Amino acid sequence: MNAVGIDVSKGKSMVAILRPYGEVVLPPFEIEHTDRHIAQLAALIKSLDGETRVVMEYTGSYHAPVSHRLYNAGIFVCVVNAKLVHDYANNSLRRAKTDKKDAIKLANYALDHWATLPAWYPEEEARALLKSCYRQYGEYAKVQTMLKNNLISVLDLTFPNLNRLFTSARRVGGTEKWVDFAYTFWHSRCVSSMTEEEFAAVYRDWCDGKGYRFSYDKAVAVHQAASTNTGVVQPSGTMELLVRHAAQQLRNAHLTMGRLAEQMTMLASLLPEYGVVMGMFGVGETLGPQLMAEIGDVRRFRSKRALVAFAGIDVPPYQSGTVDLHSRSISKRGSASLRRTLFLVMSGILQNAPENEPVYAYMAQKRSEGKPYRVYMMAAANKFLRIYYARVTEHLRRLEEEFE
């Protein structure tokens, strides 16, 4: 048996090959992530006598070129969580860390866990693209929050509380009424310099041009706010530039997120469990693809408990001597993005309060027991994931039987 440990980094990897009892087949050596070098590594691994297994850490997208090429070459590949390798065999007082030591550590991990190493398989293209889209969606959501706060802070100098004057939800295309209004009427003087009737006429034309609903009462409210909140700085070309660029950047972020959401919905609709997931209460056009992106193929989890642990909302037992704790915090060792999505789903269920839904009934039971907000929300998320696992696995099993 040959254990190949590959310490993956950006653009290159360190490889070590060991056999039981510390036999070194090849000392650690470095390869680049090029077609020629990876092909040479695959040929070398296949030339070894006996069974060979390759172990590497999950490192975002860095390991993808190596894992895919070795898998396509017919080599057993195992991609393990970096936390498992980090906690393995730290039996030295010295905290030395090099790529060579890490590659050897991975090879030793493969030898010690030989019988239980899970085989790695590449994701379906639709699932991989869906996950990539969702990760980008999450990054743009952070940027959008930053740009929104930036625009509000700039408007505090020219048109304070402008964002509070409009309550219209963001449209499907990604535009938002208060942002578009700020781009055109970037200073309170742009409104207060007109009479109420003049502004109402201008506001009507602006709403017609942008496709927004006109309300005369809203025009009056905006004019009154502009007349009382004159702004900190006087109108100038510099402030116009700052406000309009801030508004444009936020509009671009909204537009990008809207397009990504459409793409996520399209990719999610290609997956076999799409109808089942979208039929669950609390899951809408936005949260459904997010759930499917983070969970992936549910068949990769051996049980519903494994899925709950992947989300990091499990409560591991803790017992030592006479100490036996039953009330503990969730582990938070899993996907933070999945926990966020689950929390949004639970918020929707709590707001709608569907009495016939088992998740809400369980949530209501925990609330009646006096559990804190976060406790009953995560308990309901735990139950939701168990139902998700049962329904999706049953649906996929039926599809497999029909296909056969």
- 188-194, long-range: CB within 8 Å, 24+ apart, which pairs? 188/158, 188/159, 188/160, 188/225, 188/226, 188/227, 188/229, 188/230, 188/231, 189/226, 189/230, 189/231, 189/235, 190/226, 190/235, 191/222, 191/223, 191/226, 191/227, 192/223, 192/226, 192/227, 192/230, 194/223
Does residue 328 have a pLDDT over 70?
no
Report the candidate in 129, 263, 267, 247 with the shortest Cα–Cα distance to residue 178: 247
Q: Characterize 376-403 residue by residue with b for buried, 16 or more Cβ atoms within 10 angstroms of its Cβ, and e for exposed.
A: bbbbbbbbbbbbbbebbbebbeeeeeee
Tell whether the model's pLDDT for residue 337 goes beyond 70: yes
Among residues 293, 310, 292, 288, the alpha carbon closest in space to that of 301 is found at 310
Distance CA 92, CA 95 (A): 7
- pLDDT, average across residues 238-244: 95
All domains of the chain in start order, with CATH: 2-122 (3.30.420.10), 128-267 (1.10.287), 274-403 (no CATH)
pTM, two decimals, is 0.81
Q: How many whole angstroms separate alpha carbon 304 and alpha carbon 315? A: 14
* Average pLDDT along the chain: 88
pLDDT in tens, 139-187: 999 999 999 999 999 999 999 999 999 988 777 666 789 999 999 999 9
Cα angle 148-256-298, degrees, rounded to a multiple of 5:
110
